[in-house]
Structure 1
């Protein structure tokens, strides 16, 4: 099916993408700092914590049998090569009003081998919670979307009221600093004992095998 999340493969791609986005020591984290620092040099502004400035993440969900040169699909997904990130220089181009601490997300999906990627969802990444809040495209012709919340697959200790606090944050009733800071556990720059799982571990775990 074309709808994002309709297959186990889709779900695993989103999960491992979320894992890589949360980990500042991942390829995605490195790319984020590189683009952010370059942008600040161009504008001659002070370099601060890039997470305080709005960024756009593009997650590519490939066809499960897609082949690439010089890297396998599994290796690319493990490393996070299916994710692009850049600072948002013009907030007027973002279709959401995103509080500081949130970031814009676009998910593109490839439905056939060697075909173009098409938009499958848009939404917001909330870093402290390690959560994606997506609007999944159901019928683009009539503008039908379905909300979908995706928690980090490794974080186990989400508090009972995390969804209420998420709503308060998105409504700008509380700040990002008021959210439970769960992401540190799955960020190697904070938790040196953390090891990011591979694609195979994520996929096997989704099938009920023991994993992380």
Structure 2
């Protein structure tokens, strides 16, 4: 099952084997590498349902691997969790801003990592209801997990997709950062509110119309009723 296929990119052999053991015990199919260039090749060949990506790896850095994966149509929506020893807020924001959907600082609990991976995968899976959402030229086909703007495809990462869906289901409503955090992010109690701002910025860039999602000072964000700020 492709959705349970994991690409593990980690050059610490002992940690890699530990993570692999816990995921395989949970029923995942795991392929691994410690090299950034090889990870990019494997991502195209394997079509993994999830990528666990260490920041500090051989060759191309994990951050650059994440950036390149997000630029490719084949991996633009593949969930990515970054693993790193860099725990400062700016590093976490930088990782998320590059395209990661979640971020776990070393040392971590392998059981927690499996739980987070399962939650990210569950939230990124399309609903099978055939539902379609439309607003201001944006069309979201939930069954096909596709987004178009004025008939042209828009490629979103899993987090931006979930964020846009939440807005499309509530056009015109002002949604606080806390509301968005709890609705869109797994383990939201561990994620900072600033993370919402990072992904809102990425979503605006992808949509190509920054004013469509309006910032409401001291309140949050709103998908404007007519798409005009």
TM-score, normalised by the number of residues in structure 2: 0.23
Q: Quick check: which one's helix share is greater?
A: 2
